[in-house]
Structure 1
């Protein structure tokens, strides 16, 4: 028997009666290789014999079954020595890779090779170095991943046991709640039925007013894209961990307060959109989503301001998000060696009021943000190997304080120029108003004078006395 399951009798019992995808009735024979029969837990919890209770429980632990089956295929947990050795080797490879890439970047350009050709040559060499390192890295990473999966599996069992206990208690308190659990949108039911007959790759349930998602969704193993945005979901079932091929998951604009830890098992997930929810934290397991390249967590209640050290060097970053300005406790930021991908820094950088060290070397940044001079606590700055124009090289050579003063003066000049333009606009408006009023006054005056002259010339046929004087 799985040694983990000895501590979780209720979970062990339900796993032994887990139904297959094609049947809604529990099997009498366990589909798993349980060496020992489940404890006589039914005597202590008689409601387990209720079909609805058992059905709800089996849906709630599908993620455990999937993970257990996967781990049985992958093998036992690596011992501590193997894990420590893998970590050591990865650190060694990373150090060697950093050194090789740094030597590549700092290598002098031959006089007979133009800059464009030289950069293209460097890019090819960089790709070759990374590919060679990746071959070596993959083996050691697999050891660490297997160890982490076993670690996550242990936590998963504890959470599953707690879920089962809650379901059982809820069933005893209110039998109607079980019917609500099984109450499903007809369109969702249709999708689940279709998934049994053929493989589905994409499901779009955007804006369907869904309040919950059936656990059975985790059984659509071939699913690549799932859109659940614009609904009323408060939780995402752990069973989504069964979607091992899933690449895109959109749960934006819902009522989610947390994400399941099992999301870390989605090894192929590339795009995750959880914007517009009520999240105040992300699960630690999200760092195991190795394929993730796009993560949108905007418009939530995330509190990550305690981060003090952020190292993102030797990646392929195309930029830093404006939200980085929220990391008000950040003291060290390292984004060096992103090469041709990183071309600018966000204006929100000035909000990092506790930043002490900044390394942006070996990138393609040509100007620091105008508000850079507001980084009062910055004492260490590395901008080497950038086509930097603002500030100029002679200022950079004088050190970080000179850079801060230059950028601060530039910022003041910019504000003064904006103020001058604003005053000019106000003055133009005022002058335009004065001219309008003056023109109106002149028009009125001219009209009055015109009327007087006209009246004078037209009164009693009077003529100029000089003209009428006899010659």
Structure 2
């Protein structure tokens, strides 16, 4: 790097590297971040107890102290992660200076650069002022698109543009969105992608008509809980950020959401409420740190496209309810540590595309996987049928025993019924009526 010959660059890089190392070491000592839902419940318990100060205490002292410890750990993580983010930002700036061969304290050319920047800012401001003037004059303004304008500031006055339905300020340099944005009662589409946003205002929850929200490629570490109030949302893109969790109640409120992109973040888990998104058609959570899925994931009855690839060493298992995703058409589980698919995986009859590459799979065997999606479905369906038949055999044997109960279990009744339903289709499937050649999808990148 040519810029390392400048003493100021070298000093700044040394300090930034030391600060990054110190912050990461502190986070490592702290251990894993507590689960977000646990943090929320702990905060609620502590707040309720503090509000009842002087009255009868409902929570045992030991449990209360445990809740306080969870909250303290979360706050400590927040503090050190803020330090880490600030240090990494400084290191990135120093690295750019080093690559460009510039001295951080270089005076030459600064006035010229500042003048050029001032000229650009003036042009942008004129464009912004023109939009606001048009609105003030009572002229209809339904769409504002200020994309790639090097915009650093969004005026509060934008929140008073009545009738605005589309606001696109993508690819700018915005660090803050004003609270006044909550005043855009008619806003349906808000695009804030590729800026430098660290947070979103709580007032975003006032956008009750918002249908599309894109906050991808920013520096967000969390989404405000109020985003759950945007019940008209059908598309939410929060990819390419630093999200460690999603709002606890997001699934209970965003029941109309059709597409959710949260890939390229730092998510360790998905909230259990996400299973209530009955309208969800697409879920992309690849390249995170997911340790698993909510146990009730099978309740996503409308889900057709699911990408969980590249969670690497963290994702090892799929819940038993996975086989209830009966409308699933495309599934990417590549680059994980999954050893076995759920026994009822064969129920995914509509599955057309399947990527299982780079997993230590033993069930189904790799020779089956290499034959394609139809072979995998056939193998897993036969396995599930065998399991149900074995359970039926054991139940019949137990029923004939004098010590056995006289009625079969409800689960067995359902299993036998399901066996009857699938037997006919399975016979045809295994006889070759519905077989296809090796799935071409596995020969190309997902």
Same fold (TM over 0.5): no
Higher helix share: 1
> Please, what TM-score do these two structures have when normalized by structure 2?
0.43
> Please, what TM-score do these two structures have when normalized by structure 1?
0.41
